[in-house]
Amino acid sequence: MSNSDQQSKKSDIGSVTPPPENIYEDHAHDKTALPEDHPAVSTGKSGMQYLGTGLLCSLIAFGGFVFGWDTGTISGFVNMPDFKNRFGQINGSGEHYLSNVRTGLMISIFNIGCAIGGVTLGRLGDIKGRKVGLMLTMVVYIVGIVIQIASVSSWVQFFIGRIISGLAVGSVSVLSPMFISETSPKEIRGTLVSCYQLMITAGIFLGYCTTYGTYHAYDDSRQWRIPNGLCFAWALLMIFGMTFMPESPRYLMEKDRIEDAKRSISIVNKVDIDSEFVEHEAAIILNSIEIERRAGSASWGELFTGKPKIFYRLMVGVVLQSLQQLSGDNYFFYYGTTIFKSVGLTDSFETSIVLGIVNFASTFVSLVTIDRFGRRFTLMAGGFGMSVCLVIFAAIGTKALYNGPYGVDPSKSVGDAMIFLSCFYIFFFATTWGPGVFVVCSETYPLRIRQKGMAIASSANWIWGFLIAFFTPFIANAIHFAYGFVFFGCSLFCIFFVFAFVPETKGLTLEEVDQLYTDYTPGLAFLDFRKEVDNTDKV
C-alpha cells in the first residue's frame, strides 16, 4: 500500500465523529439507558420508503432460493422412474428401486457438505468480503451441479456432486443472513433477514412445481436433469445480483475502508453520504470495532473464552439451529411425496405442491411478525402451534389411519385430516421458526467472531439435517407415524428454551445487541422485561 493510501485511510478514520460516550463501558450495567442517552438519528423514512433497501437485500437473500430449490427437487428425484433406473438397485422381481440407505445418503449427504462449507468456504466472507464471498461460492455450486448432471449410472458420482454443491450452499447459509443483518436498517432488520427464509420457501415451491411438470412431461433423464440444469440460472442470477450490492459497511470498517463504509450506509439507507445519519452510524460501528479489537483476537478459541458471554451466545445459536431441524420441518419437505403415498394418495407430487404453496405464502406473514411481535414471542408461539399439530398428526396417524394392519385400507377422511394438519404445521413453522432462527443468529454475535459463530451454529443445523434425512426412512419404517411424537417433544422444548435462554433483540442495532449481553443473566431471559427499545424512528 502506498504512503498516500495510508494517509487517506488515517484521514478517513479521523473524519468520523465518535459517539459522545463509549456505548459499552459507560452503560455496562443498564441495558435500557443506551437508547435513551444516545437516541438513534432517524433517516426520516416511512415503511414504504424502505422499498429500495428491501430490494437490495432481496438480492442477497436469493442465496436461500438455491437451498430451497435443492430441497424441493431432491424429494421428487428419488421417486422418478428414470432416476431409480439409473441410480437404484434391482429387486427379486426385476424392478428398480432405491434402498433406504442409498436414498438416505443421496438426500442427506448434501447437509454434510453444507456443514463443512459453512465453516470452510464461509471464511471467504472475512477474507474477500461478504459480496465477493457469495459470488465465489456460486462458482463452487456450479461445479457440483455439473457433476450431478453428468452422472449417467453411477450414484456415487451424483453423491459427490451433491457434497460439492452442499459446500457452496452451506457457505451461503452463513454469508447471506450475516450480510443482510450487517447491511439492513435496524427498524426492518428482522423483516429483511426473514427474506432469506422467504427465498428458501420460494425455491422449495418452484422446485416442487418443476419436478411435477418434468415427471409428467418426460419419461427419460430430462425428468431430473432439467430441474438440475436450472440451477445454473440461479447461480448466475446470484452472481449478477451481487454486482449491484454495496459491501457490508461493518466489513469495510473492519478493513479501515471508512469512506467506502459510509458510502455503503448512504446507498442502503438512501440518504446523502454527508448526512448526520451516516456520520452517526459510521461512528457507532467504528467505536464498536475498536472495542472488539481490544477485546480479543477473533480466534476460534475465543468462541469458548471470549466476552461478553461469547460461549453462551454460541450455544444459543447452536441450540436454536438444532431445534429448527428437530421441530420436524424437513420430515415433511424431504419425504413429503413418500409420506403422502402412505395415506393413499395416487399422485403425491400434487400434495407436495400444496405444501410448497402453504410454506411460501405463510412466510410472507413472518415479514410482519418478526419485527412487530419480537423474536421471543414469535418463536414461543410457533413452538406451541407446531406442537399441537404434530401431536394430533402422530396420534391419528398411529391409531386411526388404517382400518387394518399398517398400510392396508387407509381411511381417506383421516388421510385428508393429516394433510390438513401438515399444512397447519407448515404455516406455524414458516411464520416463526423458519425465519426467526436466522434472524436471531444473525444478530447474536459480535463482528469479530460473527462469521465463525454463525458457521458453527449453521453447522449444527446441517448436521441434524443430515441425521434426520438419513435415518428418517429407517425410523419411519419401524415406528411409522409415531415418529411425529419425537418432533412433538422437540417442539415443546422449543418453547422452554426460548422462554429461558433467548433475550429479546427487537429494535436494537447490532452494537446494542452486544451491549445487551454484557449484563444478561443466562437462563433468566424471562426476567428481562425490556420488551423493545423505545425508538423514535420506528417504521
Tens digits of per-residue pLDDT, 29-83?
Answer: 333 333 344 444 555 555 555 677 778 888 899 999 998 898 888 878 988 899 9
**Region of poorest pLDDT, from 62-76, 136-150, 479-493, 512-526:** 512-526
d(CA 115, CA 462): 5
Q: Give every CB contact of residue 294 below 8 A, 6+ residues apart in sequence.
A: none
Q: Are 282 and 249 in contact (CB under 8 A)?
A: yes
For domain 46-245+296-527, the CATH class is: mainly alpha
Quick check: 410 pLDDT over 70? yes
In this predicted structure, the answer to whether residue 340 has a pLDDT above a threshold of 80 is no
Please check the confidence at residue 338 and state whether its pLDDT lies above 70.
no
Residue 31 vs residue 338, higher pLDDT:
338
User: What tens digit of pLDDT does each residue of 440-466 get?
Assistant: 998 888 877 888 888 899 999 999 988
Among 80-94, 157-171, 422-436, 513-527, name the one with the lowest average pLDDT: 513-527
Q: What angle do CA 517, 519, 523 make, to 5 degrees?
A: 75
Q: Is the pLDDT of residue 317 over 90?
A: yes
Name the nearest CA neighbour of 439 among 214, 230, 136, 196: 196
How far is C-alpha 485 from the chain's CA centre? 25
Choose between 168 and 36: higher pLDDT. Answer: 168
φ/ψ (deg, to 5) at 257 = -95, 75
Confidence of residue 13 (pLDDT cuts 50, 70, 90): very low
Q: In the prediction, which pLDDT does 20 show? A: 42
Top-confidence residue, 285 or 147:
147
Looking at the DSSP assignment, which residues form a beta bridge with residue 97?
89
User: What is the DSSP track for 265-304?
Assistant: HHHHHT--TTSHHHHHHHHHHHHHHHHHHHH----TTHHH
410 DSSP β-pair partners: 402
Measured CA angle at 485 (ends 482, 486), to 5 deg = 110
Pick the closest to residue 339 from 323, 355, 325 (CA basis): 355
Q: Which of 335-339, 401-405, 487-491 has the lowest mean pLDDT?
A: 335-339
Q: Which of 203-217, 221-235, 255-269, 500-514 has the weakest average pLDDT?
A: 500-514
Cβ neighbours, 10 Å, residue 29: 8
Instruction: State which amino acid sits at residue 333.
Output: F
Secondary structure, 3-state, 323-390? HHHHCCHHHHHHCHHHHHHCCCCCCHHHHHHHHHHHHHHHHHHHHHHHHHHCHHHHHHHHHHHHHHHH
Is the distance from CB of 430 to CB of 359 less than 8 angstroms? yes
CA distance 425 to 333: 12
Q: How far apart are CA 175 and CA 193, in angstroms?
A: 11
Q: What is the model's pLDDT at position 22?
A: 42
**Cβ-based neighbours of 427, under 8 Å, separated by 6 or more:** 358, 362, 385
For the cut 90, the answer to whether the pLDDT of residue 470 exceeds it is no
> Which 8-state DSSP code applies to residue 410?
B
Lowest-pLDDT range, 80-89, 269-278, 506-515?
A: 506-515
Segment 132-142 shows an average pLDDT of 94
pLDDT of residue 346: 62
Full-model pTM: 0.78
By the 8 A CB rule, do 398 and 481 touch?
A: yes
Range of 340-354, 376-390, 467-481 with top mean pLDDT:
376-390
Among 60-64, 279-283, 433-437, 470-474, the least confident range? 470-474
Q: Which residues pair with 402 in a beta bridge?
A: 410
Phi, psi dihedral angles at 90 (to 5 degrees):
-110, 130
